[in-house]
Amino acid sequence: MLTRKPKPVLYRRKREQKTDYGKRLHLLLANKPRLVVRMTNQKLIGQLVEFTPQGDKVLESVDSFALKKLGWTHSCKNFPAAYLTGLLLGRKIQKRKIKEAVLDTGFINPLKKGKIYAFLKGGIDGGLNVPHHPDILPDESRVKGKHIQNKAKPEEIAGLFEQVKKKILSL
């Protein structure tokens, strides 16, 4: 005779650690598009996603490799690249006349003043209104790449950062 109850089988996406349904529900209750940010080993991906009953619809998308077309020659996953990717996505979203969104980090637990918040700062500077606390955003010197001056010439990164930023703002 059985003495234990059978375990309930979790949803497939929850088992595979692809979806946190509790977090997703809270984000969807805001009735605003989601500013989704995901990090891979080589790049940062940002999307503006809207919920529909048929499934999520991606309205705009950009990854940090798009910065290479604008003249960025450094890593596509560092702080300045995260900020510039957020800025590029913010400018693209601004053309769609969308003013606000909520930040969706998925399974990533972002650190205060971290790369995810550098991306958020870029999106906010690009014209998007995202609810946040001002203390979580990184410092301007860190966003410009001055903390990585040991690995590259700081004037090279800072100068390139300003050039790419001007190109994005002129789009």
Whether residue 41 is contained in a domain is answered as: yes
Residue 3 inside a domain? The answer is: no
Cβ atoms of residues 76 and 43 within 8 Å? yes
CATH of the domain at 40: 3.30.420.100
Contacts of 69 (CB under 8 A, 6+ apart): none
Q: Is residue 120 included in any domain, yes or no?
A: yes
Q: Concatenate the DSSP letters of all residues of 95-110 into one string.
A: HTT--B-EEE-TT--P
Q: What is the pLDDT of residue 71?
A: 93
Does residue 88 lie in a domain region? yes
Rounded-to-integer distance, Cα 11 and Cα 24, Å: 14
Please give the pLDDT value at position 72. 94
* pLDDT for 92: 95
Q: Which domain holds residue 159?
A: 17-169
pLDDT tens-place values along the chain, 171 residues long: 567 888 887 888 888 888 888 999 999 999 999 999 999 999 999 999 999 999 999 999 999 999 999 999 989 999 999 999 999 999 999 999 999 999 999 888 899 999 999 999 999 999 999 999 999 999 998 999 888 876 766 568 888 999 999 999 998
Q: What pTM was estimated for this model as a whole? A: 0.89
Tell me whether residue 137 is in a domain: yes
Q: Beta-carbon neighbour count of residue 94 at 10 Å? A: 16
In a domain, 34, yes or no: yes
9 within a domain of the structure (yes/no): no
Number of structural domains in the chain: 1
Say what the pLDDT of residue 68 is.
Answer: 96
In a domain, 5, yes or no: no
